[in-house]
Amino acid sequence: MAEQEISQQAPVQETTEQKIFDAAHELFVQKGLDGAKMQEIADKAGINKALLHYYYRTKEKLFEMVAKAIIHQGVPVFRKKLESDKPLEEKIAEFVDSYIDLIRLNPFMPVFIISEMNKHPQHFFEKIMPAELPKPQKFIRQIEEAVAEGRIRPVNPQHLVVNIMALCAFPFVARPMMQMVLGLNAHEIEAFFKQRKTEVTEFIFAALRPES
Amino acid sequence: MAEQEISQQAPVQETTEQKIFDAAHELFVQKGLDGAKMQEIADKAGINKALLHYYYRTKEKLFEMVAKAIIHQGVPVFRKKLESDKPLEEKIAEFVDSYIDLIRLNPFMPVFIISEMNKHPQHFFEKIMPAELPKPQKFIRQIEEAVAEGRIRPVNPQHLVVNIMALCAFPFVARPMMQMVLGLNAHEIEAFFKQRKTEVTEFIFAALRPES
DNA sequence: CGAGGAGTTAACCATACGGTTAAAATTTTT
DNA sequence: AAAAATTTTAACCGTATGGTTAACTCCTCG
């Protein structure tokens, strides 16, 4: 479900601008704004450092473009799911499904966002995040209705929203730690992430079953 | 419950070494290894830059000491809770309780660990993490037993462990985002975090109720 | 008192870094 | 093919950065 067809790099005839962008993408994601160096990006792109400034004026601008691209890859997914007209149960299942799909395609994304958002919150919300970021009001109203109707256990809707996001995203940001603590090798962790979707969905629905 | 008495800085007669350490702590946590600059640390400590190198030979060494201190603040809490002899239900409740307490005392900790762990995994696990990090084997066995006895719904124990950690830690690392998405002001977010402990505990227990 | 050591400082050093310049190479336009 | 515009490069610039040096202060102890 929700397996998008994202042209998985066709290195046919990549333009220089693209090569720079890709190199910057990889390094910014891996090392952050401060950790990634312009020379390093130039080397990885296989070009002269001056070209970075020719295409993207400054490091900050280059970073902004990369960060925006990353954010804008996720935002529409959220918006679509949060604002859909589907009934609550279906909505939750779809949300978990496409959220985990999204992260599995770009496992670095949550760490990148969390790091940069916490390190430079002002810059992040003023220059990178779109002004109209998806709001879960409709989702929250649906939760309130379901509670009122007794269809689900009484829960605080805001906490539920956070819980869902936490269950989806956290394993990816804590991956190295998990791997260490649970003692999993590469294969096992891969299997773990494969199971994750169903396990999370079942966990949430179980937590929402009405009492008695 | 579990409100430790941690001598909340007594700035009576702080030694220079301590002043440096504290300044480094604050800046490394806030900006990471790459983002924090030695001059900045010296300024914040109110001393000459050469003194940094007098007490802590290099930036890396200083960082290691700070990072170790942060890690070693949390590890014993984990170990104690994970290896206790209490029955499962109690254990989960206590784990959530002291985990959230721990993070509320140092809300920066999870972001710091996640950032640095993902940015320099090798350095992190070789030089900073203690060799004998707490393992949840006993906890996992207890879960398996509870499932076998039908006391809780059948769940994959590893996923449950991850779920618990996710529900506790994630809100703190995603705090700025949450604040934005849920549209909370400083007071409201404070209230949110106060409710968090009970909400998470109830959520987990609800998810573990046996079926039918 | 005065020698020795710990603590502290200003000045300095080499390199790394983000960014610029001017000219060369390449492509596009006419 | 010449002119114009675009792309690429090597060399350079000023500053920031991690780190060092050597001298100076201050306290301790014989």
What's residue B12's pLDDT?
55
- Could you tell me if A53 and A103 lie in one domain? no
Taking residue A143's Cβ as centre, other Cβ atoms within 10 Å add up to: 23
User: Does A106 reside within a domain?
Assistant: yes
- Token couple for A140: 């929250």
Q: Give the burial string for B169-190 (b: 16+ CB within 10 Å, else e).
A: bbbbbbbbbbbbbbebeeeebe
Interface test with B, best of A173, A198, A208 (most B CBs within 10 A): A173
- Could you tell me if B108 and B191 lie in one domain? yes
Enumerate long-range contacts of A108-112, CB under 8 Å, 24 or more apart. Answer: A108/A29, A108/A30, A109/A29, A109/A70, A109/A73, A109/A74, A110/A169, A110/A172, A110/A173, A111/A172, A111/A173, A111/B114, A111/B115, A111/B118, A112/A28, A112/A29, A112/A32, A112/A67, A112/A70
User: Does A3 reside within a domain?
Assistant: no
A163: domain CATH number is: 1.10.357.10
**Separation in Å: C20 C1' and B30 CA:** 32
Interface pTM (ipTM) of the complex? 0.90
Nearest to B170 among A31, A111, A166 (CB): A166
Q: Is the CB of A39 under 7 A from strand C?
A: yes
State mean pLDDT over B134-154: 97
CB contact under 8 A, A158 and B31: no
- Could you tell me if B82 and B140 lie in one domain? yes
Q: Of the ranges A9-13, A186-190, B131-135, B203-207, which one carries the lowest mean pLDDT score?
A: A9-13
CA A211 from chain centre, in angstroms, equals 33
User: Does B27 reside within a domain?
Assistant: yes
Domain that holds residue A26: 14-57
User: Does B159 reside within a domain?
Assistant: yes
- Could you tell me if B132 and B53 lie in one domain? no
What's residue A115's pLDDT?
97
Quote the minimal CA–CA distance from A14 to chain B in Å.
28
- Could you tell me if A21 and A104 lie in one domain? no
Domain count, chain B: 2
User: Does B5 reside within a domain?
Assistant: no
pLDDT along chain A (212 residues), means of 10: 40 83 98 97 97 98 97 93 95 97 94 96 92 91 98 98 98 94 93 96 98 82
Residue B169 — φ and ψ, nearest 5°?
A: -90, -35
- Could you tell me if B43 and B117 lie in one domain? no
User: Does B66 reside within a domain?
Assistant: no
- Could you tell me if A146 and A49 lie in one domain? no
User: Does A124 reside within a domain?
Assistant: yes
pLDDT at B9 over 70: no
- Token couple for A44: 């990885």
